[in-house]
């Protein structure tokens, strides 16, 4: 896969990279994606987990600031 993140927080919403195209995703979807890759070996899986956790952290921070 390219060096594009698997999940990101972009323009106020969470998105997941599906085959090179970012699609809107729920917080639960990103969290489950991180859990799924957390059980797999290899550096790519570790990077995907980091991408998901970073996106969730940005989302939670933005949500907290909005309140």
The pTM score is: 0.88
Read off the pLDDT of each residue in 46-52 and give the average, rounded to a whole number.
95
Q: Tokens standing for 56?
A: 């969730």
End-to-end CA distance of the chain: 36
Which band of pLDDT confidence, cut at 50, 70 and 90, is reported for residue 46? very high
For residue 9, pLDDT over 80 is answered with: yes
3-class SS of residue 22: strand
Helices (H), the chain: 27-38, 43-66
Q: What is the pLDDT of residue 3?
A: 80
Tens-digit pLDDT profile for residues 21-42: 999 999 999 999 999 999 999 9
Cβ 57 vs Cβ 5: under 8 Å:
no
What whole-number distance in Å separates Cα of residue 14 and Cα of residue 7?
7
């Amino acid at each position: 896969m390219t060096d594009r993140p698997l999940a990101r927080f972009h323009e106020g919403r969470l998105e997941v990279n599906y085959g090179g195209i970012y699609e809107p995703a729920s917080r639960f979807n990103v969290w489950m994606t991180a859990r799924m890759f957390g059980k797999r070996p290899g550096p790519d899986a570790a990077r995907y987990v980091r991408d998901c956790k970073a996106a969730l952290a940005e989302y939670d921070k933005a949500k907290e600031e909005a309140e």
